[in-house]
Amino acid sequence: MKLTQPHAKQFKHTLLSVLDLAPITQGSNATETFKRSLDLAQKVDEWGFNRYWLAEHHNMPGIGSSATSIIINHIAQGTKQIRVGSGGIMLPNHASLMIAEQFGTLDALHPGRIDLGLGRAPGSDQLTARALRRTLFSNGEDFPELVEELQAYMSEDVSTGVKAYPGVGQDVPIWLLGSSGFSARLAAAKGMPFSFASHFAPDYMHQAIDLYRSRFEPSETLSKPHVMLGVSLVAADTDEEAEYLSTSRKQQMLDLMRGTPGQFKPPVKNLADHYSPGEIAALERNRGASSYMTGSPETIKQNLSDFIDETGADEIIISSDTFDHDARVRSHEIVAELLT
């Protein structure tokens, strides 16, 4: 199983990748969002990032990547070398056979460049989850069985009966994603690569990494553990500018906490003019200091270096959203300047 593209560069022996939430900015639309995502993907492809993932979310007016497989094809078709995949597909929302067929098709269209990252959360609220599944809401406890089912559809074992065509025998690395110990244990037991959402659940990061590495069982597809950690990052030419740009992401999180998600908002000078002290304090409590990075090139270099030293991550996947597309490109460019 190939996890690294030959062109990929590293920072301190760690691969760097990109997570795109396909933000729909206030006053814009999904068409413009997908154009901007492709432009960013083409640039990070040239700069030596390893992979470009898109996340499945539903019923969120500020996120455009709900039809994740379709957007993956759009990005892969417009790039040359970078791996493209899902970060992730929320498997309980779908029939496993459909996902096996979709990603088998993607790999047939873009051989050796497609990743399938799987999560067990709904990527939405419970009402939307019911609308997606057409069944009662599941708490994800059947996730291990769903993963087994998907793997069986893509395997060459003829005894399983139903197969995914395309899909059987193709090289589509399957990752498990998580924000707790559940997926860490499952990824370890199955010998699969593991991506932890440290920017969502920083308090569980070290526990999940330790669980995965200590319990890892080598498999036919992966001989040793491979940990990729999520980092929320906004880089700019000065610390002050980066902090200002980061208020767009903070507003998105605060609105989500209020239960009023909307389109991605312009930055503001002072969050306290728009949100209560209690709301801002709750946001800061939920943010992991080491997995949230905001600053100038010098600050980002130090923060990333410290984070790698702290975690020993094999790979880091950065989520860097700003309201202005040029600022978003610049944020990734600053990170790219660290790659060698």
Region 6-20 average pLDDT: 97
pLDDT at 9 over 80: yes
Asked if residue 75 lies in contact with residue 84, where contact means CB atoms within 8 angstroms, the answer is yes
Give pLDDT, residue 140: 67
Give pLDDT, residue 103: 98
pLDDT at 86 over 80: yes
Give pLDDT, residue 95: 92
Region 302-321 average pLDDT: 97
Query: Could you tell me what percent of the chain has a pLDDT over 90?
Result: 83
pLDDT at 285 over 80: no
Tell me the per-residue pLDDT of 28-65, one tens digit each, with 9 for 90 and over.
Answer: 999 999 999 999 999 999 999 999 999 999 999 999 99
Q: Which two tokens mark 152?
A: 């069986």
Give pLDDT, residue 34: 98
Tell me the per-residue pLDDT of 101-124, one tens digit each, with 9 for 90 and over.
Answer: 999 999 999 999 999 999 997 656
Query: Could you tell me what percent of the chain has a pLDDT over 70?
Result: 95
pLDDT at 283 over 90: no
Question: Does residue 166 have a cis peptide bond before it, meaning omega lies within 30 degrees of 0?
Answer: yes
Region 232-252 average pLDDT: 97
Give pLDDT, residue 260: 92
Q: Which two tokens mark 253?
A: 């999180």
Asked if residue 265 lies in contact with residue 26, where contact means CB atoms within 8 angstroms, the answer is yes
Query: Could you tell me the pLDDT band of residue 22, with boundaries at 50, 70 and 90?
Result: very high
Give pLDDT, residue 2: 87
Task: Identify the helix (H) or strand (E) that includes residue 78.
Answer: none
pLDDT at 286 over 80: no
91-95, Cβ contacts within 8 angstroms, sequence gap of 24 or more? 91/118, 91/119, 91/120, 91/143, 91/146, 91/147, 91/150, 92/120, 92/122, 92/129, 92/133, 92/138, 92/140, 92/142, 92/143, 92/146, 93/56, 93/58, 93/122, 93/123, 93/129, 93/132, 93/133
- Whats the size of the chain, residue-wise? 340
Asked if residue 295 lies in contact with residue 205, where contact means CB atoms within 8 angstroms, the answer is no
Task: Tell me which of 171 and 338 has the higher pLDDT.
Answer: 338
Tell me the per-residue pLDDT of 194-225, one tens digit each, with 9 for 90 and over.
Answer: 999 998 788 899 999 999 999 999 999 999 99
Q: Which two tokens mark 227?
A: 């940990």
Q: CA nearest 251: which of 271, 269, 278, 281?
A: 271
CA distances from 123 to 87, 88, 96 (A): 11, 9, 17
CA distance 265 to 172: 36
Region 230-247 average pLDDT: 97
Give pLDDT, residue 135: 58
Q: Which two tokens mark 300?
A: 């980002």
Query: Could you tell me the pLDDT band of residue 19, with boundaries at 50, 70 and 90?
Result: very high
